[in-house]
Amino acid sequence: MSDEKITIETGDAGKGTSTIDKNANTEELEERALSVFSSERNEDITALVLSLITTFIVLVFTKWM
Amino acid sequence: MNTGGGIMPQAKDNKPLFILSGIMIIYALIASSGILHPLMKFLHTAKTADLQVMMGFIVGGIGIAGALVNTVRKPGNTVFDRFVLQPLPGIILILLMAMAIRWYVEPVVKLISHSLQPVLGFKIYKVLNLNYVILGLLAGVLLTNTYGIPKFAAAGVKCARFVLKMGVIMLGARYSFAELAKLGSYSIVLVGGFVLGTVFFVLWLGNLFKQPKTMTGVLSAGMGVCGVSATVAVAPVVKAKSEEMAYTIGTILSFGIICMFVFPTIGHMAGMNPVQFGAWAGTGILNSAQVAAAALAFNAVDIKTLKVAEIFNITRVLFLPIIVLVLATWFGKQSGKKLTFKEVVIDKFPIFILGFLLLFAMSSLGLFSPPTHYKGKFIDFSYNERSQITEKEWETLDKALQNNTFQGLSADQLAAVKDLVAQRQLAGNFESRADKKAFQQQGEKRMDALKSITAAAKAKAITLPKDVTHAIKHAVKQVHKKSKTVSTLTDCMIWFFAFGLIGLGMQITKKAIFQAGGWPLVIGVISGVTKATLSFFVVLWLVKDVVLK
């Protein structure tokens, strides 16, 4: 396998730039996909938790207090 | 980073955070002193003065606290460091930009557009949709492609993506069952048709131009579903080459950026209503953030367009596993070694959609405002000081009654005015306040009578002094209440979107766009333009009724 690398600019906040072998095999592509899935899952969980915290704070100040 | 040289070097590391937070607090102090009031009035932002002061103090205060913590303790790699302290400077930078754009740049652009209208014959900001969303995006693009994202802000900019998702989650609180059901059924038909249609169209184009199946496979998913995620998920299934992935991602990005700016202008020119534009943007644009940007660029004042566009966007995101399965079957691949179909369906499931549904459920159960209220809006005839008209308005109406100013009114209309003067607010009879149904009916009858007076005055069927009609209008307005919880949640959501879109702008680099090229660019542009054009006509043909209020 060649050591030549290719840089992919995703243009997406959070994903940024990633480097991958120019001749990456299927297994490497699978690993990359799984790593993107995992980072997206973490992002979703963070967004969900922070949204619930925001909702709770809004309820405390506008309804329950 | 400090390596043990004491507090001073760490304070130096935190200089940007101290400066940004200081600017926020100084601005809040100046705004609270009232010096800026004439300027705010000139820019038509005086109504937000309290919010400006509050945000300045809160954000500046949090920033100073964060900078102090960072100064006295050694930076580490704890959850608190990674999620709060490290991104804080970037978050405050984006918030500062968002505040400056919303309260100063956008009003100035509007004023300049107004003054140039006699020369140009049109308002620039209307034609180019230069509202705070587009201006924020442009500011982000400009910063990242000139000076570059400052090093201290890099971690904060990365938050933009999940903050945008927070906006989508919070948006869930603003739907009714009927809206979700109707928009959902539209979106499944439209998005389903266009996603599958685009995938097969790209594969056919690839065949026509004799391009490798690996490239057309990865491009078909990118152009059909949702850009970068789809490309990465499908690449191993179709055994795409790394270069093909880079070309595909570049094509999708460039195409999406053009759509984000062009779609709202075309939508306005074609006279699309919010539902039609939301449906078109959600179907024709490939990236979730770009869909939100286009919807808010089309209409940033209310969220009707955004609501429709996001339902279509969510439906499109949910189509990804189906497309992976379709392409895997097409390419004769049963399952990968590591990336099985189970992984695509379960690991790739967008959890933020569960959050969206959770907020929708909370809202539907009446947690934010009673379920009988439509999106937090309701009419309240109960005796309440906040529902009263002002002393001056009461004097105006009382004097008008004594001077027999109300000529040509029906008995019911005159009775409603007399009651308004007697009770100083629009309400039912005081004696029947225990019987809620009767009280409500009396209030509604009086409200109808008062509304008919202002309508008759507007139609010039009767003549009333302006201050009298103003007083009556105000009395009617006073009983139309809005849930504070729903309003605050909506404000938070709008700020999340504004923040996320400035961050999105900061990720649009020349390098990312210019990596597009080769056959993926040719096929991508043909399929993207075809999809956008066809979906435009289909939406205009199918989506006619406005389901939102």
HSE-CB for B31 with a 13 A CA cutoff: 22
Picking from B229, B240, B507, the nearest residue to A40 by CB comes out as B229
Paired tokens of B112: 């300049």
- From the number of C-beta atoms within 10 Å of its C-beta (0-12, 13-18, 19+), residue B47 rates as exposed
Which residues form the domain of A17?
A: 5-64
Same domain for B382 and B369, yes or no, is no
Which residues form the domain of B224?
A: 168-374+486-542
Of B148, B177, B197, the position where a domain reaches its end is B148
For range B415-428, the mean pLDDT: 90
Nearby residues of B499 by Cβ (< 8 Å), 6 or more positions away? B91, B94, B95, B98, B160, B163, B164
Are A37 and B233 an interchain contact pair (Cβ–Cβ within 8 Å)?
A: yes
Question: B62 lies in a domain?
Answer: yes
Same domain for B294 and B399, yes or no, is no
Same domain for B61 and B134, yes or no, is yes
Same domain for B70 and B203, yes or no, is no
- The highest-confidence range among A24-38, B37-51, B369-383, by mean pLDDT, is B37-51
Same domain for B302 and B198, yes or no, is yes
Question: B156 lies in a domain?
Answer: no
Same domain for B392 and B452, yes or no, is yes
Question: B227 lies in a domain?
Answer: yes
Q: B50-54, B377-381, B544-548: which range is least confident on average?
A: B544-548
Between B335 and B126, residue with greater pLDDT: B126
For range B503-525, the mean pLDDT: 82
Paired tokens of B180: 């979700």
Same domain for B65 and B182, yes or no, is no
Number of domains making up chain B: 3
Same domain for B474 and B344, yes or no, is no
Model ipTM value: 0.80
Instruction: With beta carbons under 8 A apart, name residues in chain B contacting A37.
Output: 233, 343, 347-348
Paired tokens of B530: 């075809």
Query: pLDDT averaged over chain B?
Result: 86
Angle formed at CA A17 by CA A14 and CA A19, multiple of 5 degrees: 135
Question: B162 lies in a domain?
Answer: no
pLDDT score, position A10: 59
Give residue B277's pLDDT band: very low, low, confident or very high (50, 70, 90). Answer: very high
Interatomic CA distance for residues B307 and B309, integer angstroms = 6
For range A4-9, the mean pLDDT: 66
Interatomic CA distance for residues B180 and B314, integer angstroms = 12
Give residue A56's pLDDT band: very low, low, confident or very high (50, 70, 90). Answer: very high
Instruction: With beta carbons under 8 A apart, name residues in chain B contacting A12.
Output: 161, 228, 287, 289, 507
A21-51 pLDDT per residue, tens: 666 667 777 777 777 778 888 888 999 999 9
Are A30 and B338 an interchain contact pair (Cβ–Cβ within 8 Å)?
A: yes
Number of domains making up chain A: 1
Are B507 and A12 an interchain contact pair (Cβ–Cβ within 8 Å)?
A: yes
Same domain for B494 and B438, yes or no, is no
Nearest residue in chain B measured CA to CA from A38: B347
Question: B187 lies in a domain?
Answer: yes
Same domain for B350 and B472, yes or no, is no
- From the number of C-beta atoms within 10 Å of its C-beta (0-12, 13-18, 19+), residue B76 rates as exposed
pLDDT score, position A1: 43
Same domain for B74 and B106, yes or no, is yes
Q: Are B527 and B215 in contact (CB under 8 A)?
A: no
Same domain for B192 and B329, yes or no, is yes
Question: B154 lies in a domain?
Answer: no
pLDDT score, position B2: 44
* Measured CA distances, B379 to B382, B387, B472, B481 (Å): 9, 10, 16, 6
Q: B93-107, B273-287, B403-417, B512-526: which range is least confident on average?
A: B512-526
Question: B328 lies in a domain?
Answer: yes
Of B482, B497, B522, the position where a domain reaches its end is B482
Question: B533 lies in a domain?
Answer: yes
| A60–chain B Cβ distance below 8 A for any pair | no
